[in-house]
Amino acid sequence: MADTVPNTLPLVALLVAGGSGTRMNSAVPKQFMHLGRKPLLLHTMDAFIKAYPAIRFVIVLPQEHREKGEDIIRTSFPMLPVTIATGGATRFESVKNGLQHVPDGSLVFVHDAVRCLVSPELIIRCAETAVKYGSAVPAIEAKDSIRICDAQGNNHMIDRRLVRMVQTPQVFESKALKTVFASPYQSSFTDEATVWEAFGNPVHLVEGEERNIKITHPSDLNIAEEWLARV
């Protein structure tokens, strides 16, 4: 464990695994699809365990796939402390449901379960930053040209050097994160950082990773397989 993260500070990985597989054109939810020889969800859990072996998990699953998820997790990690929470209609609701199972006074990593290539090094880097500054959000520089469009169809270019593409895990002190999530849902709440920031809290960015992609479309699995072959 990193020295800057107190040994007495409980660590909880809140993995949001609420996908249904629609955009993957599959009846199997993407978090249960295989990359190599195991489901994406297990790759993700492995990374957190490598970073912090004593970490606890809260995994948010759709109600209709909860039993399958529990079977997969228990088969691979029978002794691991894992709590299953039920997903909601939005990411905000799913995270809020998961936070109910996270103890106050802990450091909570909210992570997309299908960002299965996240490295232990990034997880540790985010934890160190959150302990020091109160929040940590990984992000990478934009590579493409960026244009902003308004409701009237007008658009203009912005300097892509000023743009960052946000990733997870997003890390916060659990009681503080619960406080902001007690507010009513707003359509602008697209991730934890937007909720955090809406209440005047600063968001501290951490250098993310190109490999930390979110598996959303079938082609993403091919990309993930190429990354996996490199490590």
User: Is 130 inside any structural domain?
Assistant: yes
Please count the CA atoms within 13 angstroms of the CA of 25 that sit on its side-chain side: 5
pLDDT for residue 26 is more than 80: no
pLDDT for residue 47 is more than 80: yes
User: Is 139 inside any structural domain?
Assistant: yes
Q: CB under 8 Å, gap of 24 or more: what pairs does 220-229 form?
A: 221/33, 221/35, 224/35, 224/116, 224/117, 225/35, 225/36, 227/117, 228/35, 228/36, 228/117
User: Is 5 inside any structural domain?
Assistant: no
User: Is 1 inside any structural domain?
Assistant: no
Q: What is the pLDDT of residues 106-122, one digit of tens each?
A: 999 999 999 999 999 99
CATH code, domain carrying 212: 3.90.550.10
User: Is 6 inside any structural domain?
Assistant: no
Q: What is the pLDDT of residues 167-217, one digit of tens each?
A: 999 999 999 999 999 999 999 999 999 999 999 999 999 999 999 999 998
pLDDT for residue 1 is more than 50: no
Rg, C-alpha atoms of the chain:
17
The predicted structure's pLDDT at residue 37:
87
The predicted structure's pLDDT at residue 192:
98
User: Is 128 inside any structural domain?
Assistant: yes
Region 53-73: mean pLDDT is 95
User: Is 4 inside any structural domain?
Assistant: no
Structural domain count, the chain:
1
Region 123-134: mean pLDDT is 97
Reduce the DSSP state of residue 101 to 3 states and report it: coil
pLDDT for residue 71 is more than 80: yes
Q: What is the pLDDT of residues 151-181, one digit of tens each?
A: 999 999 999 999 999 999 999 999 999 999 9
Mean pLDDT score across all residues of the chain: 92
Q: Which domain holds residue 95?
A: 11-230
CA 114/CA 44 separation, integer angstroms: 7
The answer to whether the peptide bond before residue 169 is cis (omega within 30 degrees of 0) is yes
